[in-house]
Structure 1
Amino acid sequence: MTGKDQPVALVVGASRGIGRQVAIDLAKNGYTVVVAAKSTSDAYAKPFPPDPNSQQSTISTVEREIREAGGRATAIAVDTRDYESVQRLVNETVKIYGHLDVVIYNSGAIWWASVENTPMKRFQLMQRINPEGLYGTIQASLPHFKQNGWKGRVIVVCPPIYSRFFRGKTAYAMGKVGMSVLVKGLAMDWEREGKKDMAVTGIWPASSIESAATGQITKTDPHSVRDLRKPTIYSDAILAMLRAPVSEVNGLLDLDEDFLRRVEGVTDFSKYSVVEGAVPRRIMPAEFPDLTVAEQADEGRRTDSTKLRASKL
């Protein structure tokens, strides 16, 4: 496959941790990768490569890592809170490479606390980066997917929907579950519109993954490192989702471990443990509620606001 023929993947939130690993492994598997986030740096500063979970890891260093390993990558800075910045990112991606095939949205702001202890500014930050940033990225990408003949994939870092997820982190859960609702709703749009080559999928870790966030926990509780997995489990699951037929993954909200076990037949996950021989604790339920209802197919009279507005003009 020549560089021109390679599928192009835009990874938003790829400066460190999970996003960095996803970008690197996509490049290893034949994708041209656009590495996007806010943080940039001198890619040739020492030491190199930097700690992948540190602030020294930026889109600049990730681009260099991919290129020096023989892959194709371009780093483009973006502020996902600013829709014009997101539009520039997507348009620049297509300007450079001619097309866009995959969008992976990994950007996220985290604050786990009660409503009382979540300041309004922190709440607003999470909503702007999490659901709004995702919505803007998808909006900016849709014209280019249309140009592709409606062929493409979107992968979103968001959870299956279940009530325990809200506990102790309501403000964060409001945004993350909102992202999950977007996955479900967009998938329904594409199915209804006959876009048979488009799929949007949500992915979430079954066990905690080594990252900058979990690094803060292990500093105060060194034993907790035994409950961590390497981010390669996440990139392996995403690659498997991209290989899977549209019908299997469109609208799916799944866990990395569960998807690899069910679809790829993986039974031994020991290679993903940060501590050799450790069995990380599963943080997610074994089963999730079915969100469908008996009247699922009965939409009643569909309302389309765009048509209502047009009729008033």
Structure 2
Amino acid sequence: MPMKRFQLMQSVNPEGLYGCVQACLPYLQQNESGRGRIITISPLIYSRCLRGKTAYAMGKSGMSALTMGLAMDFERERRTDMAITSLWPAAAIDSAATQGPQTDRSQLRVPTIFSDAVLAILKAPANVVNGHCLLDEDFLRDHAGIHDFTKYALVSGTTPRRIMPAKKPDLTVEEQADEGTRMDSTQIRAAKL
């Protein structure tokens, strides 16, 4: 992949998300109810997602890392009604990205599955979704009570192949809450000036 294309991907995906979140946070924090939700479109972080598309996966993984990191900040600041969540399709969805002469339309779902998952995330308590990288099908099954996914098949009577792992990887560690000695690098830098 040429460097210019790689840089464009990184500026659109992690950098674009970071800028958007940074612009939105003051408004979410000023909200009288203290409620706020951010939903990013990025996948679970796991080994197979890197295969054949490392440059793209680097940017999308950065977006998922932002989800997990900002969620920890919300918890640390006791913003219990704010949540950031990543969402990704469990099976391919009919979109501009899946169009082409080689596309097997029987392996696609309609976009409605994704919008239904977004609505379910917005209705869920913040502590259920904050910091999680979710898959549309799994969240709808586990939290919205949907068990029949045939209505989401683009081609009636087909069952699109799941492209994501059946079991979500757990990236937490035993020392998850141990921050050690926290330092504010902006104050350190300002003291040196």
TM-score, normalised to structure 1's length? 0.60
Structure 1 gap ranges (5+): 1-117
Matching residue within 109, 117, 120 for 2:3: 120
The alignment status of 1:144 with 2:27, answered yes or no, reads yes
Instruction: Determine the structure 2 residue equivalent to 1:268.
Output: 148
- Note the alpha carbon deviations across 1:270-289, whole angstroms, 9 max, x for none: 00000000000000010122
1:265: how far off?
1.2
1:309: how far off?
2.7
Determine the C-alpha separation between the residues in 2 that align with 1:306 and 1:283: 42
1:248: how far off?
0.2
Query: Match for 1:184: what amino acid?
Result: M
1:311: how far off?
3.5
Determine the C-alpha separation between the residues in 2 that align with 1:152 and 1:240: 15
Deviates more, 1:142-151 or 1:131-140: 142-151
Matching residue within 162, 186, 192 for 2:70: 186
Any idea what SS the aligned residue of 2:82 has? strand
Determine the C-alpha separation between the residues in 2 that align with 1:295 and 1:272: 40
Determine the C-alpha separation between the residues in 2 that align with 1:234 and 1:166: 23
Any idea what SS the aligned residue of 1:159 has? coil
Matching residue within 156, 167, 171 for 1:287: 167
Query: Match for 1:220: what amino acid?
Result: Q
Query: Match for 2:22: what amino acid?
Result: Q
Query: Match for 1:207: what amino acid?
Result: A
1:196: how far off?
1.2
The alignment status of 1:220 with 2:137, answered yes or no, reads no
1:197: how far off?
1.4
Query: Match for 2:55: what amino acid?
Result: A
Determine the C-alpha separation between the residues in 2 that align with 1:291 and 1:255: 16
Any idea what SS the aligned residue of 2:99 has? helix
Is residue 161–residue 288 contact of structure 1 (8 Å, CA) maintained in 2? no
Matching residue within 70, 75, 85 for 1:201: 85
Q: Which of the two has higher C-alpha Rg?
A: 1
- Note the alpha carbon deviations across 1:243-263, whole angstroms, 9 max, x for none: 000010000111000000000
1:225: how far off?
0.5
Matching residue within 111, 115, 129 for 1:235: 115
Determine the C-alpha separation between the residues in 2 that align with 1:123 and 1:228: 27
Matching residue within 117, 135, 158 for 2:42: 158
Determine the C-alpha separation between the residues in 1 that align with 2:26 and 2:178: 30
Which of the pair has the greater relative contact order for Cα pairs under 8 Å at 6+ separation? 2
The count of corresponding residues between Structure 1 and Structure 2 is 192
Instruction: Determine the structure 2 residue equivalent to 1:305.
Output: 185
Determine the C-alpha separation between the residues in 2 that align with 1:261 and 1:168: 30
Any idea what SS the aligned residue of 2:75 has? helix
Instruction: Determine the structure 2 residue equivalent to 1:252.
Output: 132
1:125: how far off?
0.8
Task: Kindly report which structure 2 residues correspond to 1:10-49, keeping only aligned pairs within 5 A, or say none.
Answer: none
Deviates more, 1:287-296 or 1:272-281: 287-296
Determine the C-alpha separation between the residues in 2 that align with 1:310 and 1:119: 38
Runs of 4+ residues over 4 Å off in structure 1: none
Determine the C-alpha separation between the residues in 1 that align with 2:140 and 2:168: 17
Query: Match for 2:154: what amino acid?
Result: V
Is residue 207–residue 281 contact of structure 1 (8 Å, CA) maintained in 2? yes
Determine the C-alpha separation between the residues in 2 that align with 1:247 and 1:170: 31
Structure 2 gap ranges (5+): none
